[in-house]
A and B are shown apart, each in its own frame.
Chain A
Amino acid sequence: MLATEKAGARPGQHATALLAEADRLMTVCNSCRYCEGLCAVFPAMEMRRAFPDGDLNYLANLCHSCGACYVDCQFSPPHEFDVNVPRVLAQVRADSYAAYAWPRALAPMFARNGLAISIVAALSVAAFILGFAAWHDPRVLFGTHVGPGAFYRLMPHNAMVWLFGLAFLYAIVALAMSLRAFWRDIGDPMRLPPGAWWQAMRDATSLRYLDGGGIGCYNHDERPNDRRKFYHHLTFYGFALCFASTCVATLYHYLLAREAPYPWWDLPVVLGTLGGIGLIFGPLGLFIAKLRRDRVMQDETRWGMDTAFLVMLFLTSLTGLLLLVLRATAAMPLLLALHLGVVFALFITMPYGKFVHGLYRFAALVRYAKEHGAFTAKG
């Protein structure tokens, strides 16, 4: 009858010790429920009395790591109940990325993820430089090329389309397969009401739950603020604008037969420049916030993964903007190789890095919108 283990521990089957700890925390939290007004995690927890691994992965991906529950918890360390929900769910979340990776053989990419992605990025850049050089006279790399089709003198348009089309397609397939595994594991094979999609879309695009229940995130001190939300918006919407720029340019090429590079006032350039600025300041701001944030709420072992993704986004934007500014100079060929190399690496590593957090979180929000809707309708 004596409590020999930490309070809340239950004998049960879990794939890892971390999942067992997450189960313990959810058991503690479910007997308290003071945090139910802070975000979606705790109301979702209250709909359950036991926590199998799939549910824990769902809850972990629902957590936006605002930190409010840690700061508000009377049982956070040094209390003997040792309740640190943001940190443990961050760890479980990062583990879940590897657990659902497709193909399974590439799951180890998530271990030492920063190093893995740096190597892929370096190899991609090198391949483009060497490719350009091998394809043409190496002197092409140091020439000045201007006017429509200038880029395609270094790499034929069709080759570019094939290469990036395949890389993009691979990323889409791998991400879809991973997401499918996650969706099955969090246990919702049933059909989704359209309302759940719409609700999740609103919650995701507004980062509704990255706000400590209304006053902002807890970062490096006791004063909550909205800075992480702001920089995440810059990053997300910057990425979206860059993606839109690429789509418009593709339409220009095939429908209007207009070839890149485009003048600075044209839509693809305007979208790309605005998005690029977002992708410079967003990742930079997020990185600084990460450096300053209280370590106790973070999963420090995953710094490499988080940082690698921010660096890749930052480099994508930086090389793209440099290419825009210097495209009429002799630096263009090397910058083009650099930019294409980084973008290529970003695409093919997408399913094996921090990028997946967006998909899993969105899926978790859809699941939440559905079950919460059903729960409240039931009364």
Chain B
Amino acid sequence: MADLTRKYDVLIAGGGNAALCAAIAARRAGSSVLVVEMATKFYRGGNTRHTRNIRCAHDAATDTLSGPYPEEEFFSDLLAVTQGQTDEALARHMIHESKDVLDWLPQQGVRFQPSLGGTLSLGRTNSFFLGGGRAMLNMLYLTAETLGVEIEYDAEVVDLDIDSGMFLSAAVQRVGARHAVRAATFVAACGGFESNIEWLKQYWGAAADNFLIRGTPNNRGTVLKLLLDRGVQETGDPTQCHAVAIDARAPKYDGGIITRHDSVIFGIVVNRDAQRFYDEGEDIWPKRYAIWGRLVAAQPDQIAYIIFDSSVVTMFMPTLYPPIAAGSIRELAGELTLDPDALEATVSGFNAAVRPGTFDDTILDDCRTEGLTPPKTHWARRIETAPYYAYPVRPGITFTYLATRVNKESRMLMRDGKPSANMFAAGEIMAGNVLGRGYAAGIGMTIGSVFGRIAGREAAKNARN
């Protein structure tokens, strides 16, 4: 066990991608580093365990990336998904640093692979971790341990002693005992607050009870709240988060990637009242999957059903939970406890509105509805071939965007605008600085690796002075 009585150069709260990148960077810069991870060793790394790829800018194709992804293109993608709600200077800085991170991560043992079957069409922009996020984490931990970073599991930061923007010590709860851990600098890299349903309810009301949390149950936002209460500047919309529609049968926490559904564009999506509520064919799926969590969250009882027929059942990734099947739309409504008349009316109304076209799910094709509200603008085909199928879906929250404000050094800013003397933040806890809303695949890991590395570097520099 790590010595909690000595004073460290850098204390890091959290154990995911951001925390480990900070730990490695600080240790490589000569600091003594203690990582306190709330989870057990198996569950270490929070949401990083469930990730698969990272989006980094690069000027040329590599062994694992099919072509260049210039900084400018990355920035315009970010602008598009956030609809301009980003700190431009910080975002550009992140994107610039991401180029170097693409080389730096493999130096820490992380392995990439080309994007293969079943992945989103991200082969040019995103680097995929060989073996996935947990494999990536395992390598970061191995490197950190080899370098001499002290790592403490089952250790939660429960309080912070901060004096006018200056970190003094953290109260760390470890196996029933509370320790005041001192350090010259502090890095908060312990995630958002999406697992804290009570906190979510402040903004979402009772609807939050129906949210499923895709990742760790440990992201309760304890440190985020402590920092905001102790004078750190807040940024980001507390209702904004990365949320997708996931299978309603998924566990409350930690179901990860495998509970997702890619079938929306192949059918229609109805709510509890068997009514459609959004254009299922608005854009290609990788560009739209991350809006469906919020869409379902806005429906009564936060539930929806993807309805499709047997003509498309093998056109998307196989799913963890089997689709619910029935011989007729009426029967299917029965299985889903929806009003059979309403579902039949919705499906036949949709079928009648479908115009002839040439189906192609790889492009924005010309299969669309006419005179229907809301319309289905692409991939609209009649649902008429029995058996019929449905997946029940609920909002699956990945992480929240409410954040501590930081500058380019990843240093926290206090409410009066002054930089903190010795506190840094990285990863989801500061994601809201660049992600005001929306999401682009792999960008959570960019935020974690880039700002984690900056935070570690700067904290080490700070500790030396």
Contact = CB atoms under 8 A, between A and B. Distances in A.
Contact of B318 (A2, A30, A72): A30
Interface in A155-177: none
B257 interface: yes
Nearest to A36: B116
Contacts of A215: 111
Nearest to A218: B138
Interface in B119-151: 119, 128-135, 138, 141-142
B320 A71 contact: no
A204 B248 CA distance: 44
Q: Is the interface of B mostly helix, strand, loop or mixed?
A: loop
Nearest to B142: A222
A25 to B, nearest CB: 11
Contact of B49 (A2, A33, A74): A74
A191 interface: no
Contacts of A223: 142
A38 B130 contact: yes
Given A71-B138, A72-B131, A75-B256, A1 B392 contact: yes
Interface in A23-77: 27-28, 30-38, 43, 46, 49, 68-69, 71-75
Contact of B257 (A34, A36, A43): A34
B132 A72 contact: yes
A78 interface: yes
A6 to B, nearest CB: 11
Nearest to A73: B134
B320 A8 contact: yes
Nearest to A30: B318
B249 A35 contact: no
Given A31-B319, A75-B256, A222 B138 contact: yes
A68 B139 CA distance: 12
A80 interface: yes
A49 B131 contact: no
Given A74-B50, A213-B111, A33 B118 contact: yes
A185 B42 CA distance: 38
B278 interface: no
Contacts of B117: 33, 36, 43, 46
Nearest to A7: B320
A213 B136 CA distance: 13
Contacts of B322: 10
Highest count of chain B CB atoms <10 Å: which of A32, A34, A37: A34
B89 interface: no
A184 interface: no
Main secondary structure of the interface of A (DSSP, over half): loop
A79 B336 CA distance: 29
B134 A214 contact: no
Contact of B248 (A1, A37, A74, A222): A1
Contacts of A1: 248-249, 324, 336, 392
B113 interface: yes
Interface residues of B, number: 40
A3 interface: yes
Nearest to B117: A46
A74 B131 CA distance: 10
Contacts of A80: 251, 254
Contacts of B317: 30-31, 33
Contacts of B135: 34, 68, 71-72
B277 interface: no
A316 to B, nearest CB: 38
B5 interface: no
Contacts of B80: none
Interface in B186-207: none
A205 B52 CA distance: 32
Interface string A145-160: 0000000000000000
Contacts of A10: 322
Contacts of B49: 74
B386 interface: no
B258 interface: yes
Interface in A308-333: none
B314 interface: yes
A32 B257 CA distance: 7
B75 interface: no
A33 B249 contact: no
Interface in B306-343: 314, 317-322, 324, 336
A79 to B, nearest CB: 7
Contact of B258 (A28, A46, A72): A28
A336 B131 CA distance: 51
A34 B128 CA distance: 9
Nearest to A33: B118
Interface in B50-72: 50, 52
Nearest to B45: A74
B320 A27 contact: yes
Contact of A27 (B131, B314, B318): B318
24 contacts: A1-B336, A7-B321, A8-B320, A30-B318, A32-B257, A32-B258, A33-B116, A34-B257, A36-B117, A36-B118, A37-B128, A37-B130, A37-B131, A68-B131, A69-B131, A71-B134, A71-B138, A74-B49, A74-B132, A80-B251, A214-B111, A215-B111, A222-B141, A223-B142
Given A1-B336, A7-B320, A222-B142, 7 more contacts: A30-B318, A33-B117, A34-B131, A34-B135, A72-B135, A75-B258, A214-B130
Interface of A: 1-3, 7-8, 10, 27-28, 30-38, 43, 46, 49, 68-69, 71-75, 78-81, 213-215, 222-223
Task: For the complex of A and B, list the 9 residue pairs with the smallest distance between their C-beta atoms, beginning with the closest.
Answer: A34-B132, A72-B131, A37-B113, A72-B135, A74-B49, A31-B320, A31-B258, A3-B249, A37-B130
